[in-house]
């Protein structure tokens, strides 16, 4: 009886152990299948996001070809019907995605959301690099204009002045600090230590490494500044056909927020097709001939020049499939013939 009892106990224990193993195997298999399915869904979402980027390239290429056929380079935000299929003209077709749009459903293939933003509608911080800043300090017209502009955005004057020279030192090509600036000798004393960039800003996040930068300051300037394009060039450009009112104020200390709003309202009636159109509107809002001349000649003399079209755009494309989503952020510079330089690429 004892042997039979022991055998029964062993049998029950074996059955219990086998039941546990089978349960664990079933659970693990389900987890693996679920993980595999999640991976597949995420890959599908990724390729949907990639397709959105390619669609943006096609729209931007088509726009450039249209401009060349019309022998006139213009980029502006067109007015769109609620249903784009009712649109009479597809000029500036890329600008349909310049405002937030709901995701585009692709039946059983998921959905894609797309946003295209003109980077040349913003102030390029790499244009602030002035070689003679050390000689004139805050008396340098470009430095004074930048500090004045930060104040227009609500930045405290002391904060604006304490940030501008470390910014210049960060992007200049030497390691000689300006009187109120900072170079590698300062940054190497920090924990952890690092060296000054001493070249073009590669990304907005670089600004957080600069002496006297603050989160509050970055929040105030982020919507209105860019670092693209970031290659060495004699001139950077600002598209006055797409620049928002708070960016247009940068063009001159004489342009206040009310005047900038009036410029935008005039532009909504139709884009500036020539620089003469732009000058006429500046005169209409109350600027004198000398003030208008200062805006045009100032932009030509220094690194940031005004024009009526753009070549650099940021694209955010998100692919949705099942419960997975993948977003691609990229910055593209169009070169023509469907060719693009990629300045930035991030997947998350």
Q: Are strands 111-118 and 123-124 parallel, antiparallel or unpaired?
A: unpaired
Helix (H) or strand (E) holding 345, with range, is strand 339-347
* 111-118, strands of its sheet edge to edge: 104-105, 111-118, 312-321, 324-336, 339-347
265-275: average pLDDT: 93
Domain ranges of the chain: 1-122+243-348, 126-222
54-63, 232-241, 283-292, range with the lowest pLDDT = 232-241
Q: What is the pLDDT of residue 79?
A: 86
Q: Which of 20-24, 110-114, 291-295, 299-303 ranks highest by mean pLDDT?
A: 110-114
- Residue 82 reports pLDDT greater than 80: no
201-229: average pLDDT: 94
- Residue 310 reports pLDDT greater than 70: yes
- On the CB side of 183, CA atoms within 13 Å amount to 12
Q: What is the pLDDT of residue 130?
A: 53
How many percent of the chain have pLDDT more than 90?
Answer: 60
Q: Is 146 in contact with 133 (CB distance < 8 Å)?
A: no
Q: What is the pLDDT of residue 25?
A: 46
Q: Which has the closest alpha carbon to 281: 262, 300, 297, 296?
A: 262
Q: What are phi and psi of 209, to 5 degrees?
A: -90, -10
Q: What is the pLDDT of residue 298?
A: 61
Q: Are strands 304-307 and 104-105 parallel, antiparallel or unpaired?
A: unpaired
The two three-digit tokens of residue 306, written as one number: 């005004």
Q: Which fold has domain 126-222?
A: Ribonucleotide Reductase Protein R1; domain 1 (1.10.40)
- Residue 6 reports pLDDT greater than 60: no
Q: What is the DSSP letter of 296?
A: H
Q: Which has the closest alpha carbon to 92: 67, 117, 113?
A: 67
167-181, 187-201, 215-229, 255-269, range with the lowest pLDDT = 167-181
193-197, 237-241, 250-254, 332-336, range with the lowest pLDDT = 250-254
- On the CB side of 195, CA atoms within 13 Å amount to 8
In this prediction, residue 107 has a pLDDT band, given cuts at 50, 70 and 90, of: confident
Q: What is the pLDDT of residue 280?
A: 95
Distance CA 228, CA 210 (A): 18
């Amino acid at each position: 009886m004892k042997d039979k009892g022991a055998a029964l106990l062993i049998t029950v224990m074996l059955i219990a152990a086998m039941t546990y193993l089978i349960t664990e195997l079933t659970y693990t298999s389900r987890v693996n299948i679920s993980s595999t399915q999640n991976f597949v869904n995420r890959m599908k979402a990724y390729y949907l996001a990639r397709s959105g980027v390619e669609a943006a390239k096609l729209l931007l290429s088509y726009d450039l070809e249209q401009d060349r056929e019309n022998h006139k380079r213009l980029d502006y935000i067109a007015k769109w019907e609620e249903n784009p299929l009712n649109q009479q003209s597809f000029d500036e077709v890329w600008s349909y995605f310049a405002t937030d749009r709901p995701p585009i459903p692709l039946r059983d293939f998921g959905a894609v959301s797309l946003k295209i933003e003109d980077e040349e509608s913003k102030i390029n911080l790499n244009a602030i690099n002035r070689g003679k800043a050390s000689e004139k300090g805050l008396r340098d017209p470009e430095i004074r204009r930048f500090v004045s502009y930060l104040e227009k955005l609500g930045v405290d004057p002391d904060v604006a002045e304490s940030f501008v020279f470390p910014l210049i030192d960060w992007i200049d090509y030497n390691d000689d600090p300006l009187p109120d600036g900072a170079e590698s000798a300062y940054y190497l004393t920090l924990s952890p230590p690092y060296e000054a960039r001493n070249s073009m800003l590669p990304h907005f996040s670089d600004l957080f490494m600069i002496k006297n930068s603050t989160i509050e300051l970055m929040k105030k300037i982020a919507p209105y500044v860019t670092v693209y394009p970031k290659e060495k060039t004699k001139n950077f450009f600002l598209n006055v056909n797409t620049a928002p009112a708070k960016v247009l104020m940068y063009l001159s200390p004489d342009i206040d927020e009310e005047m900038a709003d009036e410029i935008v309202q005039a532009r909504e009636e139709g884009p500036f097709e020539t620089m003469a159109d732009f000058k006429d509107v500046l005169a209409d809002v109350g600027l004198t001939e000398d003030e208008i001349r200062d805006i045009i000649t100032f932009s030509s003399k220094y690194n940031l020049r005004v024009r009526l079209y753009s070549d650099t755009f940021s694209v955010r494309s998100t692919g949705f499939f099942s419960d997975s989503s993948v977003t691609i952020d990229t910055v593209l510079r169009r070169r023509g013939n469907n060719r693009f330089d990629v300045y930035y690429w991030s997947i998350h």
